[in-house]
Amino acid sequence: MTRTHSGNRSDEARPRLEGVLAPVPTPFLSDGTFDRTAFRENLSRWIEAGLHGFVVLGSAGEAPMLSEEEAVDVLHSAREAIPEDRWMIAGVGRHATRLTIDAARAARDAGADAALVLPPYYYRRVTSNSALVEHFRSLADAVDLPLLIYNMPSYTGVDLPTPTIVAMAEIPGIIGIKDSSGDLTKLAAVRHQTPNAFAVLAGSAGFFVPALASGASGGVLALANIAPTMCLRLWNAAQSGHWDEARDLQARLIEANAAITRRWGPAGLKTALDLLGYRGGAPRPPLSALPEEAQKELASVLMEAGLQMDAKEAQ
Amino acid sequence: MTRTHSGNRSDEARPRLEGVLAPVPTPFLSDGTFDRTAFRENLSRWIEAGLHGFVVLGSAGEAPMLSEEEAVDVLHSAREAIPEDRWMIAGVGRHATRLTIDAARAARDAGADAALVLPPYYYRRVTSNSALVEHFRSLADAVDLPLLIYNMPSYTGVDLPTPTIVAMAEIPGIIGIKDSSGDLTKLAAVRHQTPNAFAVLAGSAGFFVPALASGASGGVLALANIAPTMCLRLWNAAQSGHWDEARDLQARLIEANAAITRRWGPAGLKTALDLLGYRGGAPRPPLSALPEEAQKELASVLMEAGLQMDAKEAQ
Amino acid sequence: MTRTHSGNRSDEARPRLEGVLAPVPTPFLSDGTFDRTAFRENLSRWIEAGLHGFVVLGSAGEAPMLSEEEAVDVLHSAREAIPEDRWMIAGVGRHATRLTIDAARAARDAGADAALVLPPYYYRRVTSNSALVEHFRSLADAVDLPLLIYNMPSYTGVDLPTPTIVAMAEIPGIIGIKDSSGDLTKLAAVRHQTPNAFAVLAGSAGFFVPALASGASGGVLALANIAPTMCLRLWNAAQSGHWDEARDLQARLIEANAAITRRWGPAGLKTALDLLGYRGGAPRPPLSALPEEAQKELASVLMEAGLQMDAKEAQ
Amino acid sequence: MTRTHSGNRSDEARPRLEGVLAPVPTPFLSDGTFDRTAFRENLSRWIEAGLHGFVVLGSAGEAPMLSEEEAVDVLHSAREAIPEDRWMIAGVGRHATRLTIDAARAARDAGADAALVLPPYYYRRVTSNSALVEHFRSLADAVDLPLLIYNMPSYTGVDLPTPTIVAMAEIPGIIGIKDSSGDLTKLAAVRHQTPNAFAVLAGSAGFFVPALASGASGGVLALANIAPTMCLRLWNAAQSGHWDEARDLQARLIEANAAITRRWGPAGLKTALDLLGYRGGAPRPPLSALPEEAQKELASVLMEAGLQMDAKEAQ
């Protein structure tokens, strides 16, 4: 397989996986196809803001909405825009191990630095935790790319238990977890039972402060798409032990974060981007653009959080 | 697009959708690729047994485990084996409307008589019921193929409410529902609020008798793969008002049915097929073959249900 | 303890537990205390309508809202009003075995023919199924009163599995189950695995027809409070094999049933009674009377079901 | 009503509600009745250890297992043992507002400093959040005793949303919340949207550190019953900004905490007390003493956490 991109850092070159990463949305043109220009425009602004890295083809990126061909196209566009000193992590969850291997190889070929692996969940009621560990082992054996576990119970119905995560963390090549469960008891247990090199990342800004207080090294935050500067300030505050400031920032952003995740999902995120001067657009059906009433409500939520268009992000 | 198969019956030719249909498993060779021969062998036995039709690429068929190319391959093989007087229904659930349209067109081109549509569920928390109705409407508009709704809450986490199903049933081209929820209150309400031509099919043998008593016209039963004759007898008994006999048959089969669905899923179904002289084999990882202990337990469950290899199915 | 009432039939005298039973509401005076007069007035109408029996202090009767003293008072009032040829069944669920024994003894002393036992559920996450079986065994040993199991997952979060119910059914003194789960697969399995003398009763009119088709001998139906005649007609139709008629009746009543159970609970039931000329009144806070808008909606649901005041119940 | 105890501090006297409180178990004699002596012995050790206060009749105290008379007895015994400079908080959840008022008055008369109010949950599916707010308002109006909200979704199935908690916090007399949900996003939002005087307490040691980092002022920790000194050290560490030490302590105790809560409940807690030289004994049936195998496992979990009998609690 040819490598047409930079990326895929060797172990020596790779910086610690920490800080604030954004799970980036995938914009579409009015005919519904991938809007490469808008995608790269957004990325260049987030890079300039100083975000530590990006998850491409995550839940916020409408990954399940794309064909395999489109997914590869998005990954290539991302790598062209993302410099080597920032993480590019590719979402690669599929239901079969063999399809996941194919997706991870495509991600590596597109220059991703790591893959974020959603565990298979359709047959969750008849899939044992040890089968899930084997899934990750097969994947790590087959593909030469660092892997992150993606625990996302609200979408998948699978909430990986601590011993399963710990067993996965022992597999060479598995370098961390993005945990969107919000279960801080589990996050602390995972942090305690895995080596320091295993990165524990909060999956939402809603619990970023307590996650950092519990030993997380960063977060993959949808909020970072619309408030990169404030998310970085929050992270820096926590890093330097200014918990009160971190807490205040998080509290101030909590409604905006809920609006673009739990409440309105990708449609909310894209509308917020449009309101703030980024390139959002419509999600793919059956997801649909926010109705006008909801748009107004979202605008006022953003305003209250100190986020507004044409102004620099609030300091 | 070329049509290389028969199938796709016109409205005049199409018989009422009723009776016992099997959601057929997809067998694999030892290298993990689709085993066409085994697939057709199984089908020919089920056809001979008199089943009214087949769902190809349903949950029992490990549909989420296949690539798009493999899915098309399976559909073509199925149509070659399934005669025109039996229903061939293709599972086509995808998360995006546009991908579902592509899948449904491929099913039509492969000669399917109808498509079984799993509603998009990954973003279920931010997808309204009316957006799901629109999804079905777009699909019906775009593809010239009869459509069935597939309500499967235990796998998808989406349990379509009655008014949503009724709204979908009003869309031309939507001809019925396979309801695997086991909610008989809903099934009766749907039956009552939709025209008679709208087919209500039970999604599991576990509640086939009460579903028929509530007005269902048939069932898509994983159990029909391993006990086609007994499922047909049960249906005939209910048709002729012999409820006691129908009830006895169902009770006798209830453990076997649980074993190949809720309890062990596709792995249980495939092992049962092997034990009964059909072609089962291993499921795709992360699904895994039953451990020996479970195989023995399954064998004894089948025995108690009067199902055994090399004997004709119990009369 | 003195016996001041009739009731407590000996085994010889006891008729088979079948037919239509009503779980009766507990009316309150404007000062919030038990309204004995209203209670007896309602009972006399339901007795006249021909209902086979009554559950006093069930979920519809706001049992958890009453003090122990009030509960005893309600039971005595009930027994005075309910003739010996109708079943009087007393709800006695408590969280501790010893408190349940006390409640069951009080029910026996008040003349109840049987007790309906909600399994303890507060500690459900740390209570094994075998501990629940022992709970029932201790109760049956300690109290000379026939017992019914009450499976009510939507309120308790406990859904008794089939083997647990079957184990309970083997305990002398346990004569049946009221199953409100709506899981017809389980109901059929329980029916199949227990002796005929063990009564299986549907816990809601929403699935009364499929339950009867699956071998239930009757139902404890909140709907019987507002539509006793139609519920009896439905039961008679099913008894004589007129399933189409039974199905039609159930379909016609399904919205009215939802309104007084799942949707509005005891407040809906009491408002419906007021609208139909019975004695309803307000439930105990925090349950609250229906807002005006909801009352209108309920009135129109009752109308559509053919239920109206001052007219005899629709024929 | 006569006041026979001290307690019921006036507002001036009351210290801020913070630090480490233990939800104490209720020991029973071999005949199943309340063991006053054992209860007071335990309390005197915990008081000596320096715990800031106690919840009597909480979930760990098997409150739902006691009759009203027994509950009053336990409260009186507690107040006799608990000095005025420690909080004595009485659990008073009942399903009806009027019964809750009675229970809260009995708690006040027994000398409790505050009541912990589990929201009514049996009818949760038909009880609006505003009805729950009214429940708390009626209670605060009727009883002259500070009230705490008890959010305990894993037992009750009710997870109070942030706006409901905020509305309750505005009612005079409602002084705080014990939140056992483990939802740190909510805890931070509640902290942010309520006045500082409103106490936010973590409901479990599993997430004590992130809760403190998010602004909680203390915790009601079952773990404090078996590891009071270590819980106090953890709290002190967090107070003085030594988050690493706090995190280590929590991680070390996490399995022991799970063992006496989620995993084995009151039976686990009581067995642990016996193993550590406190007075545990058997819980009330249907809860049952731990089987021998589980006892051994629990002993080894305690050992690994550095908790053992006859030695002072590990430093």
Q: Which residues of A touch B140 (CB under 8 A)?
A: none
Q: Judge whether D120 and C65 are in contact, CB under 8 Å.
A: no
Give me the residue label for tokens 């269902």.
B216
Please tell me the predicted confidence (pLDDT) of residue B300.
Answer: 96
**Identity of residue D153:** P
| pLDDT (mean) for A249-261 | 94
What chain A residue is nearest to B152 in terms of C-alpha separation? A122
Cβ–Cβ contacts within 10 Å for residue C133, how many? 21
| Residue A299, min C-alpha distance to chain D (Å) | 20
Angle, helices D36-49/D228-239, rounded to nearest 10 degrees: 30
Distance, in Å, from the CA atom of B309 to the CA atom of B274, rounded to the nearest integer, reads 9
Interface of B with C in 185-204 (CB under 8 A): 185, 188-189, 191-192, 204
Q: Which amino acid is at A298?
A: L
B266 touching chain A per CB within 8 A: yes
Task: Tell me the pLDDT of chain B averaged across its residues.
Answer: 94
List, in sequence order, every residue forming a beta bridge with C20; answer none if it has no partner: C219
Mean pLDDT computed over C290-300: 96
CA distance, residue C259 to nearest chain D CA (Å): 11
D120 CB neighbours in chain C (<8 A) are 286
| pLDDT-based confidence at residue D117 (cuts at 50, 70, 90) | very high
C22-39 CB burial, b ≥16 within 10 A, e <16: bbbbbbbeeeeebbbebb
What is chain C's length?
315
Nearest by CB: A184 against D184, D191, D241: D184
Report chain D residues whose CB lies below 8 A from the CB of A162. Answer: none
Q: Answer yes or no: A270 catalytic.
A: no
In the predicted structure, residue D195 carries a pLDDT above the cut 70: yes
- The pLDDT tens digits of the residues spanning C12-61 come to 455 689 999 999 999 999 999 999 999 999 999 999 999 999 999 999 99
Return the ∠ at Cα D281 (arms to D275 and D283), rounded to 5°: 125
Percentage of chain D modeled with pLDDT above 70: 93
Using the predicted structure, report yes or no on whether residue D3 has a pLDDT greater than 60.
no
Instruction: Read off the tokens for D86.
Output: 């420690």
Residue positions of C annotated with a catalytic role: 178
Whether D264 and C99 lie within 8 Å, measured CB to CB: no
What's the pLDDT at B308? 77
Regarding predicted confidence, which is higher, D310 or D205? D205
Subunit contact A184:D215, Cβ cutoff 8 A = no
Closest residue of chain C to D119, computed from CA coordinates: C286
pLDDT (average), residues D136-153: 98
C182 contacts on B by Cβ (under 8 Å) = 183-185
Given a cut of 80, is residue D123 above it in pLDDT? yes
Q: Which residues contact A160 (CB under 8 A, 6 or more apart)?
A: A119, A129, A132, A149, A151, A168
Q: Do C122 and D265 touch (CB under 8 A)?
A: no
pLDDT > 80? residue C253: yes
Instruction: Write down the mean pLDDT value for chain A.
Output: 94
Q: Which of C64, C134, C262 sits opposite D125 (nearest CB)?
A: C262
Give the phi and the psi of residue A283 in degrees, each rounded to 5. Answer: -80, 175
Q: Does B181 touch chain A (CB under 8 A)?
A: no
| Residue whose C-alpha is closest to residue D62's, from D273, D257, D286 | D286
Q: How far apart are CA B125 and CA B148, in angstroms?
A: 23
Residue B233: what pLDDT? 97
Measured in angstroms, the CA of A300 and the nearest CA of chain B are apart by 20
Say yes or no to pLDDT of A310 above 80. no
Mutant choice from D179, D181, D184 vs A, greatest count of A C-beta within 10 A: D184
B264 close to A (CB below 8 A): yes
Angle at C264 between CA C263 and CA C269, to 5 degrees: 120
* pLDDT at site A14: 55
- Any chain D CB within 8 A of the CB of A166? no
Say if the Cβ atoms of C287 and D32 lie within 8 Å. no
The closest of B163, B153, B162, B150 to B119, measured between CA atoms, is B150
Q: What is the DSSP string of B108-138?
A: HHTT-SEEEEPPP-TTGGG--HHHHHHHHHH
Question: Taking residues A267-293, what's their average pLDDT?
Answer: 97
Interface test with D, best of C126, C129, C270 (most D CBs within 10 A): C126
Q: C-chain residues within 8 Å CB-CB of D155?
A: 122-123, 125
Torsion angles phi and psi, residue B55, rounded to 5: -105, 120
Three-state DSSP class for residue D189: helix
Q: What is the pLDDT of residues D43-64, one digit of tens each?
A: 999 999 999 999 999 999 999 9
Write out residues in chain B with pLDDT < 70, as ranges: 1-15, 309-315
**Closest alpha carbon within chain D to C63:** D95
Q: Which among B182, B188, B212 has the least Cβ separation from residue C185?
A: B182
With both helix axes pointing from N to C terminus, report the angle between B228-239 and B36-49 in degrees, rounded to the nearest 10. Answer: 30
| Chain C positions in Cβ-Cβ contact with residue D271 (cut-off 8 Å) | none
For residue B205, the model assigns a pLDDT of 97
A214: chain D residues, CB-CB within 8 Å: 209-210, 213, 247
- pTM, two decimals, is 0.93
Task: Please give, rounded to a whole number of angstroms, the shortest distance from the CA of C7 to a CA of chain D.
Answer: 27
Across the range C231-238, mean pLDDT stands at: 97
What span, in angstroms and rounded, lies between the C-alpha atoms of B278 and D69?
Answer: 66
Q: Is A184 on the interface with D (CB under 8 A)?
A: yes
- Residue A66 at interface with chain B, using a CB cutoff of 8 Å: yes
ipTM of the complex: 0.94
Confidence of residue D4 (pLDDT cuts 50, 70, 90): very low
Best residue of A97, A98, A126 to probe chain B, by most B CBs closer than 10 Å: A126
| B65 at A interface, C-beta within 8 A | yes
Task: Identify the pLDDT of residue A6.
Answer: 52
pLDDT digits over A8-22, tens only? 555 545 568 999 999
pLDDT score for B47? 98
**CB within 8 Å: C125 and D155:** yes
C159 to chain B: which residues are within 8 Å by CB?
Answer: none
Q: What is the C-alpha separation between C239 and C217, in angstroms, rounded?
A: 9
Give residue D309's pLDDT band: very low, low, confident or very high (50, 70, 90): low
pLDDT of residue C8: 57
pLDDT in tens, A137-181: 999 999 999 999 999 999 999 999 999 999 999 999 999 999 999
Q: In three state form, how does the secondary structure of B159-224 look? A: CCCHHHHHHHHCCCCEEEEEECCCEHHHHHHHHHHCCCCCEEEECCHHHHHHHHHCCCCEEECCHH
Rounded mean pLDDT, C188-197: 96
pLDDT tier for residue D8 given thresholds of 50, 70 and 90: low
Note whether C206 contacts B215, CB cutoff 8 Å.
no
**DSSP single-letter state for residue A288:** -
**Nearest chain A residue to D250, by CA:** A188
Neighbours of D173 (CB within 10 A): 17
Closest Cα in chain D, distance from residue C84 (Å): 32
Q: Which residues contact residue B48 at a Cβ distance below 8 angstroms, ignoring those fewer than 6 apart?
A: none
Q: What is the pLDDT of residues A13-57, one digit of tens each?
A: 556 899 999 999 999 999 999 999 999 999 999 999 999 999 999
Q: Percentage of chain C with pLDDT > 90?
A: 92
Question: Residue C9 above 80 pLDDT?
Answer: no
Task: Establish whether chain A is in contact with chain B, requiring a minimum of 3 CB pairs below 8 angstroms.
Answer: yes
Q: Which of A120, A131, A286 sits opposite B131 (nearest CB)?
A: A286
Average pLDDT on D3-11 reads 51
Q: Which pLDDT band holds residue A3 (cuts at 50, 70, 90)?
A: very low
Cα–Cα distance, C21 to C228 (Å, whole number): 9
The active-site residue, picked from A178, A186, A270, A296, is A178
Per the CB < 8 A criterion, the answer to whether A128 and A32 are in contact is: no
Point out which residues pair with D115 in neighbouring strands.
Answer: D90, D147
Q: How far is C235 from chain B (nearest CA, A)?
A: 14
| Nearest Cα residue in chain A from D215 | A247
